[in-house]
Structure formats: C-alpha cells, structure tokens
C-alpha cells in the first residue's frame, strides 16, 4: 500500500473541508494556530507520520480474498 506524502497544509485543508469551512475562515485559521502551538497535537501528528511511514514500508502481500475481507471488516467495501 503506497500513500502520497501529506503536508501540514493538507491536514488543515482536510480538517476544514470536513467541517465545511473555507481554508481562510476564522475557524480554520484558529485550528492551524492551535496545531502549531499545541505540543500534544504536534506529538499526535508525529505519531501519525510514523504510522504512515511504517505502512509505506510494509507489504502484507494479501490474497484478494484476504484484502476483500479486510475492507469489509473496516467498512470500506
């Protein structure tokens, strides 16, 4: 499984899109400011980056049946 690199701006845009907010709205600017200044959010972001990096390197070599079962279990079918 390969993922495209994600930037902090991508994350902010994703959050704002899910909140139905414009990237330049007061709420999105507040989210960006919070993430930049909150140690817990930065640590969480770093842990997500580590997980994504691990998945980029990991190739489980699933059969089609296993892949389909996993997607079904995750509700992504």
Residue 35 vs residues 8, 14, 27, 38, 46: alpha-carbon distances, Å: 9, 14, 12, 5, 12
User: Is residue 34 in some structural domain?
Assistant: yes
Compute the radius of gyration of the chain from its Cα atoms. Answer: 16
pTM of the model: 0.46
User: Is residue 3 in some structural domain?
Assistant: no
Q: Which domain range does residue 61 map to?
A: 8-74
2-30 residue pLDDT tens: 667 767 777 777 777 877 878 788 887 88
User: Domain count of the chain?
Assistant: 1
Alpha-carbon distance of 40 to 6, in angstroms, equals 19
Alpha-carbon distance of 49 to 35, in angstroms, equals 15
User: Is residue 2 in some structural domain?
Assistant: no
User: Is residue 59 in some structural domain?
Assistant: yes
User: Is residue 16 in some structural domain?
Assistant: yes
Phi, psi at 21, each rounded to 5°? -115, 150
Tokens, residue 59: 């190739």
User: Is residue 1 in some structural domain?
Assistant: no
């Amino acid at each position: 499984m390969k993922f495209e690199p994600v930037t902090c701006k991508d994350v902010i845009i994703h959050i704002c899109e899910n909140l139905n907010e414009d990237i330049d709205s007061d709420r999105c600017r507040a989210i960006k400011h919070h993430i930049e200044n909150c140690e817990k959010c930065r640590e969480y972001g770093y842990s997500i980056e580590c997980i994504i990096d691990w998945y980029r390197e990991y190739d489980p070599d699933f059969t089609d049946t296993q892949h389909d079962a996993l997607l079904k279990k995750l509700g992504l079918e």
